[in-house]
Chain A
Amino acid sequence: MSGKVIKLHFTIDAHDFSLAGEASSSTKKMLNQLGISPLIIKKAAIAMYEAEINAFIHANGGEADVEIGVDRIVITVRDEGPGIADLDLAMQEGYSTAPDKVRELGFGAGMGLPNMKRYSDRLEIKTEVGRGTTVTMTVYVREG
């Protein structure tokens, strides 16, 4: 990534559901201040929010790092949760291991990972059972 890069770091809380999404919200605010086009912001915000929610519901929280460069936004959400045993399966629309109590909260439709793929230009997932998961999403910032 060339030029000036703005870096943001967040801790994703594991306990208070009402706080889930704070990191994505702060990131969105920053992207707005930088004058990035609303559609690009929306893509980045939704992708990050889904990743943040996953860290909350599946992995006991984690951390997020955002790098905003002139040509791209790189979002990394990292956790030390249970990992994903079958990533191909997890990527399928509708696949979810979320318990009913998560579904009652409005999540667990099995659309999170597909949404991350849909809205990021590049999605990279490193996961190891028992170790955790790191999701890296890149959204290109195009002019106009």
Chain B
Amino acid sequence: MKLGEVIKILDAELLADCGNLDLDVCSACGSDLMSDVMAFVKENVLLLTGLVNPQVIRTAEMMDIKAVVFVRGKCPGENIVQLAKEKGITVFTTKHSMFTACGKLYSSGVTGKGAAD
């Protein structure tokens, strides 16, 4: 699924557009614990999180994750949005809860599983 479509499905608001809305999202990882995210390596991953701090962007950077969704209407500060832009990471926010956001994406076909190997 294209990232642009993910935004529609999640009724999300774009906060940092790094020009990759045609990115093909194959799998997603929803977590507030960054080390759990890092145990999960797969290509073209979307990160959903309720955690709001710069380390979310750093984690995405280390993992080559190109899109981050903040759930439950959380809005990252300008410093976080700026860091994301520097790293080429598209950021958006959705009013949906983690559960609902993941459910919507899963039932729309984003079902790829991550693996540590």
Residues on A close to B: CB < 8 A? Answer: 17-18, 20-21, 24-25, 28, 38, 42, 45-46, 49-50, 53, 103, 105-112, 114-115, 118
Contact = CB atoms under 8 A, between A and B. Distances in A.
Among A46, A50, A103, A112, which residue has the most Cβ atoms of chain B within 10 A?
Answer: A46
Tell me what chain B mostly uses at the interface: helix, strand, loop, or mixed. helix
A21 B58 contact: yes
A105 B63 CA distance: 18
A112 B55 contact: no
A42 B41 contact: yes
Contacts of A107: 33-35, 55
Interface in B39-79: 39, 41, 49, 51, 53-56, 58-59, 61-64, 79
A75 to B, nearest CB: 13
A106 B53 contact: yes
A26 to B, nearest CB: 11
